[in-house]
Amino acid sequence: MTSSRAANAGRAGRRSRRRRADMPLLGGIRPPIALLCLLIVALAGLTAKVLGPSGEAVVPEAVLTSQKHFAEDGAIALRASIDERVTDLQRTAAALSKGERAEPEDVLSDLGRTYQKWTGTTVLDLETGDVLAARGERIPLAWIDKDVLTGEYALAPRMVRLETGDVRLMTMAVLDRKEGPQHLLIASNSLAVPNISMGPFRTMAVVARDGEVLATAGFEESEALNSDKQRTELDFLQKQMSRLSGQAATRTEEHPVTAREPGSHGYPGVSGTLVGDSYNGRITTAGYASLASSDPAEKDSVAAGLGLTVVAMLPVVQQQGAADTGRELYGLVAAGALIALGLLAAAVLWVAVQRPLLRMFLESRRLARGDLTRPVAIPRWGEAARIGTALERLRTQLIGDGDGAGSGTGRRKARFGVRVPLAVTAVLLLLWCVPVGLLLNRTDDSVSVPATMVNDQRERTDLVADRVRRALNEAQADLVSTSRLIDVDKPDAAGELLSDALREHTRYQALYVVDGSGEVLARAGGDPHGWSDDEDLPLVRVSGKGGKKPVIQAGAPVPEEKGVTLVGEVRVEFLNSLLKRPGLGELRVVNAEAETLAASDGFRAFEGLPGDTLPDLVRAAGVPVGAGPVENGLLLRDGGSVTVAAAAPFSGGGVASDLGWTVVSWQNADSFEIAAYEREDRSVLAGLLGLAAIVICLGWVHLVVARPLRALAASAEKLAGGDLKTVHFPRYQDEVGAVVRSLELIRQQLQARRNNQARRPAEPRLGAGGR
């Protein structure tokens, strides 16, 4: 009974060992080889697509993107214009309510002289409804009712249609003096895009929430055209503007956050591009941008809540989308080369790593099962050779032929081992990745840049210059409005007034009142700088040369106080914020000597422009042509790169127009979505993806095969050398783990054999003592 149980236990043990030796091999080198093949095939398909024919659209993507940026600039300008007019009216009304009583006619006269921005103004008596004074175009009053004057949205700006059909934005403020009845100050202004340079053939429109076109700019008058063909084209463009405006209004109904692509930056509102119909070989392109914004800093914007959208439309020459057979062949050749090198790399891994390892797995399993008749087939090199040599020594030990030290071919050292095929595989794949990523599809200064991009760079730079000029004019106009409330005989009250103005006008860093000798009579904010009341000096000037920041000062003489001036120092950060425009590159405001006063990025005060071409461009832009200086734009080809640059001097009205300042912009053409640069980027991407495949797959092989295989070779040699105490635990369910399991079975057999040999000499002695 006992012998039967022992036999059953022995058979169960052998079956258990057989199951452990025959366990399915998971992991190992086969999964990374398979993954490498899959990645190579996928990368080859991607290469054939992205390096093949570009399938260029009828309109270059760079041109469409430029129209979107132009619409964004127009939306920014319109929003700032509306908000400034509303704020200026409200601040003026608040200041007049605190001051002495003035006649309605005088109120409108002072308002017009200070700002000159409204198409019509009216003062209305709230008790009687009588019109006390009116200037400019006639403002209808039928829309004024109880809901306009009371409730949650009391005195909120409203869009009103005039008898002529034009739409005006009505802004209201109450003149509430301590003595006398309340008056309602009403100002109307146009919803048209501010008077900016749009360039030839471009038109812009302001669109309501329902898609109605409220105002347009850039269209020629039908009566001014000389031929029926021109009138037909004008009619086509007007219909295109109406249709595209309706599409834009629908798209801008999306929320500004959800409408943007994840990770995108730049314009905080909803913007995009549209493509219309073609006429006479030109196709209409449009960009749109809503005035609504997701920026928390603009949550109080009145314009953002009006539901308006700006659409910029430009007809461009239609491109011919002919297929490029040579480029298609190029993509197929690159993909074929990748597949050939990838298969060769996989073959190297299979022949140099996988097959010797499988052979050692089979040999170790044969020895563990007791098949000791054949010598071990030892590979020629590497860790597999070391393992094979150790297995042969273990086979001779199991046979009983000494310790196996002199059997077989002896112990083989591997200087490099499995690292050699890994390095060869990496070199094979790098033969494709490096040329594709670093050498193919490289661009130089011969890249063709659409003329539209140069024109748009120039026009957008002029738009920014106009925005900065208007901001400086607004700053000086605010000072004029505030100066009328200053009483130099009451310095404490003047200081309090300046503190209130400083809180309301974030563009200033300091406000102070100085007399003719330069003495400061009242101040608020930072430390004041020197101011001269010389009449030959402009009211907006710059000082602080040699310091860390330019000091930009604006002044307004205090009425009826000779030599007394209210001075405000404009924050440089405020001007910097006006220069941050997506898709326009780097912008700077420079003086007549091309010294930097403000920039979209970091700068040193009064530093010069980089290179020699940009200063020359600034000087050329300042040369008067006709009525005054005009903006310039050019394409710079130098050093293998292409740069688009533009310079726009201050022009127009206001005190800032005579400063001699210029806004200059430049950006590398590789930031445009041009086919040549996109092919270069795709080539670099393909090379990087190939490098990623190398790192992932060969790193995987190194972690799960190379390192465990080297450890296995050392363990096998130690076991063959007589170390029977170390127990071998398999860590992986793969070929290496299977060999480790076999080594453990062989160790157990050798241990049992040694124990049996130790017991045999003792058995005769025990038998003789017993007799």
The model's confidence at residue 4, banded by pLDDT at 50, 70 and 90, is very low
- Which are the contacts of 425, defined by CB distance < 8 A and separation ≥ 6? 345, 348, 349, 694, 698
Which tops the pLDDT comparison, 443 or 752? 752
pLDDT of residue 54: 57
Q: Which of 9-23, 382-396, 541-555 has the lowest mean pLDDT?
A: 9-23
How many whole angstroms separate alpha carbon 375 and alpha carbon 373? Answer: 7
Q: At what angle do helices 2-21 and 735-759 cross, to 10 degrees?
A: 150
Q: What is the 3 state secondary structure string of 635-663?
A: EEEECCEEEEEEEEECCCCCHHHHCCCEE
pLDDT of residue 674: 79
Over residues 66-93, the pLDDT tens digits come to 889 889 888 888 888 888 888 888 877 8
How many whole angstroms separate alpha carbon 273 and alpha carbon 489? Answer: 59
pLDDT at residue 307 is higher than 60: yes
Q: Do residues 567 and 551 touch, judged by C-beta distance below 8 A? A: no
pLDDT of residue 568: 93
Which tops the pLDDT comparison, 281 or 236? 236
pLDDT at residue 273 is higher than 60: yes
Q: At what angle do helices 707-720 and 735-759 cross, to 10 degrees?
A: 10
pLDDT at residue 626 is higher than 70: no
The model's confidence at residue 195, banded by pLDDT at 50, 70 and 90, is low
pLDDT of residue 460: 87
The model's confidence at residue 265, banded by pLDDT at 50, 70 and 90, is low
pLDDT of residue 569: 93
Q: Please give the full DSSP string across 427-488, using - where no structure is assigned.
A: HHHHHHHHIIIIITT---TT----HHHHHHHHHHHHHHHHHHHHHHHHHHHHHHHHHTT--T
pLDDT of residue 82: 87
Q: Name which of 456, 466, 465, 470 is nearest 618 in CA terms.
A: 465
Residue 405 corresponds to which amino acid? Answer: A
Name beta bridge partners: 290: 309
The model's confidence at residue 183, banded by pLDDT at 50, 70 and 90, is confident
Average pLDDT, whole number, for the chain?
A: 81
Task: Give mean pLDDT, residues 522-544.
Answer: 86
CA angle 43, 48, 49 (to 5 degrees): 95
Q: Which letter, b or e, does each residue of 717-756 get, where b requires 16 or more Cβ atoms within 10 Å of its Cβ?
A: bbbbeeeeeeebebebebbbbbbbbbbbbbbebbeeeeee
pLDDT of residue 13: 46
pLDDT at residue 9 is higher than 50: no
The model's confidence at residue 264, banded by pLDDT at 50, 70 and 90, is very low
Q: Which two tokens stand for residue 33?
A: 């080889």
pLDDT of residue 597: 93
Residue 625 corresponds to which amino acid? Answer: V
Q: Do residues 750 and 394 touch, judged by C-beta distance below 8 A? A: yes
Residue 131 corresponds to which amino acid? Answer: V
How many whole angstroms separate alpha carbon 358 and alpha carbon 225? Answer: 86
pLDDT of residue 647: 92
pLDDT of residue 662: 92
pLDDT at residue 28 is higher than 80: no
User: Which range is most confident: 139-143, 496-500, 759-763?
Assistant: 496-500
Q: What is the 3 state secondary structure string of 224-275?
A: HCCCHHHHHHHHHHHHHHHHHHHHHHHHCCCCCCCCCCCCCCCCCCCEEEEE
554-561: long-range pairs with CB below 8 Å, 24+: 554/472, 554/475, 554/476, 554/479, 554/655, 555/476, 555/479, 555/531, 556/476, 556/479, 556/480, 556/482, 556/483, 557/483, 558/483, 558/486, 558/488, 558/513, 559/483, 559/484, 561/486, 561/488
pLDDT at residue 510 is higher than 90: yes
Q: Which two tokens stand for residue 590?
A: 């420079």
Task: Give mean pLDDT, residues 283-309.
Answer: 80
Task: Give mean pLDDT, residues 230-257.
Answer: 86
pLDDT at residue 242 is higher than 90: yes
The model's confidence at residue 596, banded by pLDDT at 50, 70 and 90, is very high
The model's confidence at residue 244, banded by pLDDT at 50, 70 and 90, is very high
Which tops the pLDDT comparison, 228 or 178? 228
Task: Give mean pLDDT, residues 393-422.
Answer: 67
Q: What is the 3 state secondary structure string of 376-440?
A: CCCCCCHHHHHHHHHHHHHHHHHHCCCCCCCCCCCCCCCCCCCHHHHHHHHHHHHHHHHHHHHHC
pLDDT of residue 52: 67
pLDDT of residue 686: 87
Alpha-carbon distance values, 755 to 717, 735, 743, 761 (Å):
21, 30, 18, 11
Q: Do residues 709 and 383 touch, judged by C-beta distance below 8 A? A: yes
Q: Which letter, b or e, does each residue of 614-643 get, where b requires 16 or more Cβ atoms within 10 Å of its Cβ?
A: bbebbeebbeeeeeebbbbbbebeeeeebb
Between β-strands 213-217 and 508-514, what pairing exists: parallel, antiparallel or unpaired? Answer: unpaired
Task: Give mean pLDDT, residues 161-181.
Answer: 81
pLDDT at residue 102 is higher than 80: no
pLDDT of residue 415: 57
pLDDT at residue 172 is higher than 60: yes
pLDDT of residue 22: 44
With tokens 């190194």, the residue in question is 702
pTM above 0.85, yes or no: no
Which tops the pLDDT comparison, 737 or 147? 737
Which tops the pLDDT comparison, 451 or 322? 451
pLDDT of residue 752: 87
Q: Name which of 145, 158, 85, 187 is nearest 307 in CA terms.
A: 158
pLDDT of residue 589: 94
The model's confidence at residue 299, banded by pLDDT at 50, 70 and 90, is low
Name beta bridge partners: 589: 598, 663
pLDDT at residue 557 is higher than 60: yes
- Per DSSP, the three-state class of 528 is coil
